[in-house]
Structures are given as C-alpha cells and as structure tokens.
Amino acid sequence: MAKKKLTPAQKAAKTRKANQEKAMQELGFERKKVTRKRKPMTEEQRKAAAERLKLAREKRGHDGSKSVHHSIRDLPEDHFLHWKKVKQWIKECTSELKGIQSYKHSKVSKEKTEYRDLANYIDNMKRYLSSGHWGDYRYGAQRESKITRVSVAMAYDRNGRPKRMYGVWYPDIGAVWTKELEDMWGRDYDDEIEEEKRLEKKRRTETE
C-alpha cells in the first residue's frame, strides 16, 4: 500500500519536531510522562457516581430499554414479567438451546419436541419485548411458573349457561375454574345462573 504523501507544511512540521527532539537529547533532557494519582473516592462518592452513570445511561437508552415496547418499559422492577428479567431468561434459555442443538434434527421425537418447545418459548419472549404481549402460558428461566388466564367478559350459551374453561379465573366466582370446583358445586351454581337468565328473558318478553 503506497504511503500518503505529506504536504510541504506537514514536512516542515515533522522536520522541526525531529530537530527539537535531537536538541533536547544533546542537552541531556528527557521527557517523562507524569501520571497523576487520583484521590481515592469515598463510599458515598462511589455510590453517587454510580447513580449518576446509571441515570445518564438510562437517559440515553443504554439500559437496554430502548428496544422494549413502551407499554412494558416502565413496569415496576418487582413485576413478574419485568423486561430485565425476561432478557435474562432469554439469555439463559438461548444458552440451554445451544446445549441441545443436536436435538433439532433428532430422530427421537421426544428430543425434537424438547428443542422446538424451548425455541418457541424463546421466540415468545422476544415477541413480548417488541409487542408488550405475553403469548406463552409459562414464564421463568426454567418455564417453571404458569400464567393464569383471566376472563374479562363472561360468555353464555343460548340457554344462558356460563361458558367456562379449566385454568381460567372468572370474576363471578372469584376463582380459577377447575374440574374439582366443577364437581363440587359448579354445576348447581351454573344451573342457578341459567335459570336466572331464563326468567330474565321471560320478563323482558312479557313487558314488550
């Protein structure tokens, strides 16, 4: 690679610098770099400096929140789906996925299913960070916790009987619907609701 040619002014400056250094050496002078030691910071000063740095990084979006959906960006840090926790789960699960990379094309269906399940879980977490919507029924680094679905609007069949699904929290009973709950008292309770709906419909018909 050809060297870049110096301009006349640059050549003159280079010559002057070389002459100055030569003259200094002949006179016995030697340039020494002076390293100034900083005064040690107190514990309070270190904490204050760390806090200032943290605020500055957050202001510039360097805390990792810049790519996070605005609807979840300001969640309290103790929230079970705080974006910082989710990013850590993604990191841990991605590392786990690399460890079972051979399962991707395994002839053993159980291994292939394990790989796909973990890969889908990672994709769901990434979509959560970009959209603010959690689309998986599990959460946690090991997928150890379950999301409880909540019914925000009751649905009824044509006879007025509530439509229910196991594992969903319903506001009218204030609990998660289970098979045990259904066997214990659910059918009788829903029978009463169905009857109330029938009578209400009858009253409306009579007043029209």
pTM comes to 0.53
Give dist(CA 187, CA 162) in Å, integer. 10
Q: Record the tokens describing residue 163, joined without a space.
A: 């439509």
Give dist(CA 166, CA 175) in Å, integer. 11
For tokens 């840090």, the residue is 77
**177 in Cβ contact with 164 (< 8 Å):** yes
Q: Which DSSP letter does residue 112 get?
A: H
Q: Where are the beta strands (DSSP E) in 53-203?
A: 138-139, 145-146, 149-150, 168-170, 175-176
Give dist(CA 100, CA 164) in Å, integer. 39
As a residue count, the chain comes to 208
What is the bridge-based pairing of β-strands 168-170 and 149-150? parallel
Q: What is the pLDDT of residues 127-172, one digit of tens each?
A: 999 999 998 989 999 999 988 888 878 888 777 778 888 888 888 7
pLDDT for residue 166: 85
Q: What is the pLDDT of residues 110-123, one digit of tens each?
A: 999 999 999 999 99
Quote the percentage of the chain above a pLDDT of 70.
81
Range in 58-62, 82-86, 196-200, 203-207 the model is least confident about: 58-62
Give the range with max mean pLDDT: 55-59, 136-140, 186-190: 136-140
**112 in Cβ contact with 103 (< 8 Å):** yes
* pLDDT band for position 57 (cuts 50, 70, 90): low
Residues ≥6 apart with Cβ < 8 Å to 41: 49
pLDDT for residue 184: 76
Give dist(CA 67, CA 86) in Å, integer. 13
